[in-house]
Amino acid sequence: MKKIIHCDCDCFYASIEMRDDPSLRGRPLAVGGRPDQRGVVATCNYEARRFGIHSAMPMSQALRRCPDLVILPPAMEKYRIASRQILAIYRDYTDAVEPLSLDEAYLDVSQSSHHHGSATLIAQEIRARIADTVGITASAGVALNKFLAKIASDWNKPDGMFVILPDQVQDFVAVLPVKRLFGVGKVTTAKLHSMGINECKDLLTWSLADLTLHFGKLGNNLYQLCRGIDLREVDTSSERKSVSVEETYTNDLPDLAACVAEMPELYTSLERRADRAGAIPHIHKLFVKIRFSDFRVTTVECVGKNMSQEVYGHLLETGFARRHLPVRLLGLGVRLAEIDKGSSGQLTLF
């Protein structure tokens, strides 16, 4: 039986800033872009969350909700240093580590000999070492698969831990709201509620065929997850799936010509980033992302093994024609083909 730990640092960027400047503790704090330049919240501490502030919220809106909000720009190199320290701690216990971001990872400790194989004791020690070494708190969930471990790590946040034992899975999942299931967003939640499905126990009466009929491929996930089943392995490859750059503009780009004028600078930035990441030999698709003035987002992509400013121009024209509105954000990127595990030069998440 698998023993999976999901570790997640509490408000990571903000915690690092409060560690380095104790005067910030107890004050509402957000890390992100400037409110006068359409910046967004990257993360915020729990004092800020009491005002309803959350990640990806426009910083101007966050400031309206909390006029005393302290806003700091991201210090990415400082966060990466902390992330490497945390990753080193994880790998003292198992090689089966799947980083999800700088501050979050799955660990498969099924074969670990530490603490006589007790995943609970391993998770407790990891959290204590992160606090001692990095100076921030982390929460953890322990369960027999990734889905349950992820749910559990959020159960007693911040600075907490929750364990779901194998004989507790059925009762735990039965009363879990369907919105907590992996892959279920607002639209699917509303559809499920309209069908009288509010908790996982309500899904148990539906056959796989009926769920697939109503929800397509997601139906199979719903059928499995409401029974606490998740067969995904901890993926140790940590390969990049894409490389991209984007820019949010202080003033909306009024028309297609204005968007085209921004392309050379974005393209140059993308070339540099893709080259640094060693991604160029693995390019599989090119894509353009556009966020319009009404906040709607569209993405246009095509198959291609070489970056081309001309191709990006065609993709931009196609995307802009979908709404013909001023543009808040432009992004260019490449998607990468799966890399042969036997080849050299694996593209790491970090």
pLDDT digits (tens, 9 = 90+) for 298-340: 999 999 989 999 999 999 999 999 999 999 999 999 998 865 4
pLDDT band at 36 (very low <50, low <70, confident <90, very high): confident
Question: Is the predicted pLDDT of residue 204 greater than 90, yes or no?
Answer: yes
Length of the chain in terms of residues written: 350
Residue written as token pair 């800033």: 17
- Residue 29: strand pairing partners: 70
The pLDDT, as a whole number, for residue 202 is 96
Edge to edge, the sheet with strand 242-253 lists 242-253, 327-336, 283-292, 297-303
Query: Binding site for Mg(2+): which residues?
Result: 8, 103
Residue 271 buriedness (CB in 10 A; 0-12 / 13-18 / 19+)? middle
The pLDDT, as a whole number, for residue 186 is 82
Choose among 240, 269, 239, 241: nearest CA to 330: 269
* pTM for the whole structure: 0.73
Which CATH code of 3.30.70.270, 2.60.40.10, 3.40.50.620, 3.90.190.10 fits the domain covering 1-164? 3.30.70.270
Buried b (16+ CB within 10 A) or exposed e, 247-258: ebbeeebeebee
Q: Do domains 1-164 and 242-336 have the same CATH topology?
A: no
Question: Is the predicted pLDDT of residue 193 greater than 80, yes or no?
Answer: yes
C-alpha 196/C-alpha 44 separation (Å) is 35
Query: Binding site: which residues?
Result: 8, 103
Choose among 9, 268, 236: nearest CA to 107: 236
Q: What is the mean pLDDT of residues 44-63?
A: 93
Question: Is the predicted pLDDT of residue 347 greater than 60, yes or no?
Answer: no
The pLDDT, as a whole number, for residue 40 is 85
- Residue 97: strand pairing partners: 107
In the chain, pLDDT over 70 holds for what percent of residues?
95
The pLDDT, as a whole number, for residue 240 is 67
Q: What is the largest CA-CA distance in the chain?
A: 65
Question: Is the predicted pLDDT of residue 1 greater than 60, yes or no?
Answer: yes
The pLDDT, as a whole number, for residue 246 is 87
pLDDT digits (tens, 9 = 90+) for 74-132: 998 899 899 999 999 999 999 999 988 888 999 999 999 999 999 999 999 999 999 99
pLDDT digits (tens, 9 = 90+) for 264-293: 989 988 988 887 777 888 899 999 999 999
User: What is the distance, to the nearest Å, from the Cα of residue 318 to the centroid of all Cα atoms in its chain?
Assistant: 28
The pLDDT, as a whole number, for residue 235 is 87
Class of domain 169-225 (CATH, top level): mainly alpha
Class of domain 242-336 (CATH, top level): alpha beta
Task: With both helix axes pointing from N to C terminus, report the angle between 12-20 and 76-90 in degrees, rounded to the nearest 10.
Answer: 110
Q: What is the mean pLDDT of the chain?
A: 91
The pLDDT, as a whole number, for residue 280 is 84
C-alpha 226/C-alpha 183 separation (Å) is 12
Angle at 19 between CA 14 and CA 24, to 5 degrees: 65
Q: Where are the domains of the chain?
A: 1-164, 169-225, 242-336
The pLDDT, as a whole number, for residue 208 is 95
Question: Is the predicted pLDDT of residue 257 greater than 70, yes or no?
Answer: yes
C-alpha 334/C-alpha 303 separation (Å) is 10
pLDDT band at 209 (very low <50, low <70, confident <90, very high): very high
Q: What is the mean pLDDT of residues 246-256?
A: 88
- What amino acid positions are annotated as catalytic residues? 104
The pLDDT, as a whole number, for residue 349 is 40
C-alpha 108/C-alpha 90 separation (Å) is 10
